[in-house]
Chain A
Amino acid sequence: MSYSKKLAPLALALPLFSACLGGGTDTKAKTALYDLPEADAVIVNIGTNVIFATYTELNTKMIALNTAAQSLAANRDAASLTAAQDAWKAARIPWESTESFLIGPVDALGIDPKLDTWPLATSALNAVIGGSDPLTPAFVHNLDTNLQGFHTAEYLLFGDGIATNTRSVGSLTDREYEYLVAVTAVMAEHTAQLVTAWSEHFDPEDTTSPAFLDVFTLKTPSQTAGFTNRAQVLATIVQDGMAGIADEVGNGKLATPLAGSLAEADPSQVESQFSWNSLADFQNNVASISNLYTGDYGTHTGAGLDSLVQQVDMDLDFRIQAEIEFAKARIAAIAGAANLPFTQAIKDPAARERVQAAIDQMNSLKRILEEELAPLVK
Chain B
Amino acid sequence: MAGCGKTPGKAGDPSYLYVSKIADKATLVDLSNSVGGLSMPAPNLTEASLARHLDGDASFEKAFIPGPDDAHPGHVGLGPVFNNTSCLNCHARDGRGFLPPVPSGQARVKLGSNESLLLRISVEGLEALPKDADHLWGAPQPVPGFSGQLFHRGIYGLRPDSPGTGQADVYLSYESRVETYPDGRQVTLRKPLFAVENAYDGAASRLYQNDVRQSPRLAPPVAGLGLLEAISEDDILAQADPDDANGDGISGKPNWVLDLVKQAAGNPTPLSLGRFGWKASTPHLLQQTVAALNNDMGVVSTLLPTQNIFGTLLYDAFLALVGSDLARLPTVEADDDFVDGVTFYSRTLGIPERRNVEDSTVLQGGRLFAQVQCIQCHAGAYEIKDWAEVPEFSGLKIYPFTDLLLHDMGEGLADNRRDFDADGREWRTTPLWGIGLTKLVNARAGFLHDGRARTLEEAILWHGGEAAGSVEAFKNLSAADRESLLRFIESL
**A→B interface (CB under 8 Å):** 2-9, 12, 14-15, 17-24, 103-105, 107-110, 113-114, 117-124, 127-128, 131, 133, 139, 141-147, 202-205, 207, 212, 215, 222-228, 231-232, 235-236, 238-240, 244, 252, 268, 374-375, 377-378
- Chain A nearest CB, measured from B27 CB (Å): 8
- Chain B nearest CB, measured from A378 CB (Å): 6
> Which of the 9-residue segments B68-76, B125-133, B279-287 touches chain A?
B68-76
Offer 29 A-B interface pairs, CB within 8 angstroms, sorted by A: A3-B63, A3-B88, A6-B39, A9-B43, A12-B47, A15-B29, A19-B24, A22-B29, A104-B443, A110-B115, A119-B72, A123-B68, A124-B156, A131-B157, A143-B156, A144-B113, A145-B85, A145-B113, A146-B63, A203-B443, A205-B102, A235-B33, A236-B36, A239-B34, A239-B36, A244-B36, A252-B58, A377-B31, A378-B30
Structural contact, B33 and A232, CB atoms closer than 8 A: yes
CB-CB < 8 A to A108: which residues of B? 98, 442-445
- Chain B nearest CB, measured from A43 CB (Å): 14
Structural contact, B443 and A119, CB atoms closer than 8 A: no
Structural contact, B442 and A107, CB atoms closer than 8 A: yes
Bound form: Cα–Cα A15–B31 in Å = 14
- Chain A nearest CB, measured from B102 CB (Å): 6
B440 contacts the other chain (CB 8 A): yes
Bound form: Cα–Cα A8–B43 in Å = 11
**Ordered nearest first, which 6 A-B pairs have the shortest CB separation?**
A22-B20, A240-B36, A142-B164, A20-B4, A235-B34, A3-B61
Bound form: Cα–Cα A228–B357 in Å = 16
Query: Which residues in chain B, 428-453, are within 8 Å of chain A measured between CB atoms?
Result: 439-440, 442-445
CB-CB < 8 A to A146: which residues of B? 63, 65, 85
CB-CB < 8 A to A131: which residues of B? 157
Q: How many residues of B contact A (CB 8 A)?
A: 80
Given A12-B50, A24-B29, A128-B156, 7 more pairs with CB closer than 8 A:
A18-B4, A19-B21, A20-B3, A139-B163, A143-B113, A239-B31, A252-B58
CB-CB < 8 A to B50: which residues of A? 8-9, 12
Structural contact, A141 and B71, CB atoms closer than 8 A: no
Bound form: Cα–Cα A21–B98 in Å = 33
B148 contacts the other chain (CB 8 A): no
Given contacts A107-B93, A227-B440, contact A21 B63 (CB under 8 A): no
- The 8 Å CB contact of B31, one of A22, A203, A374, is A374
Bound form: Cα–Cα A4–B397 in Å = 31
**Which residue from chain B places its CB closest to the CB of A124 in the assembled complex?**
B156
Structural contact, B33 and A231, CB atoms closer than 8 A: yes
A5, A24, A204: most-surrounded residue (chain B CB, <10 A): A204
Chain A interface SS verdict (over half): loop
Structural contact, A17 and B21, CB atoms closer than 8 A: yes
Structural contact, B36 and A119, CB atoms closer than 8 A: no
- The 8 Å CB contact of A5, one of B57, B74, B112, is B57
Structural contact, A142 and B112, CB atoms closer than 8 A: yes
Bound form: Cα–Cα A204–B103 in Å = 6
CB-CB < 8 A to B306: which residues of A? none
**Which residue from chain B places its CB closest to the CB of A133 in the assembled complex?**
B163
- Chain B nearest CB, measured from A258 CB (Å): 15
- Chain A nearest CB, measured from B232 CB (Å): 20
**Which residue from chain A places its CB closest to the CB of B357 in the assembled complex?**
A22
Structural contact, A12 and B43, CB atoms closer than 8 A: yes
- Chain B nearest CB, measured from A144 CB (Å): 5
Given contacts A6-B39, A12-B47, A232-B34, contact A119 B65 (CB under 8 A): yes
- The 8 Å CB contact of B156, one of A20, A127, A223, is A127
B253 contacts the other chain (CB 8 A): no
B294 contacts the other chain (CB 8 A): no
Query: Which residues in chain B, 331-374, are within 8 Å of chain A measured between CB atoms?
Result: 353-354, 357
Bound form: Cα–Cα A122–B75 in Å = 11
- What string of 1s and 0s marks CB contacts (under 8 Å) between B52-65 and chain A? 00100110010101
- Chain A nearest CB, measured from B62 CB (Å): 8
Bound form: Cα–Cα A279–B39 in Å = 28
Query: Which residues in chain B, 147-164, are within 8 Å of chain A measured between CB atoms?
Result: 153, 155-157, 162-164
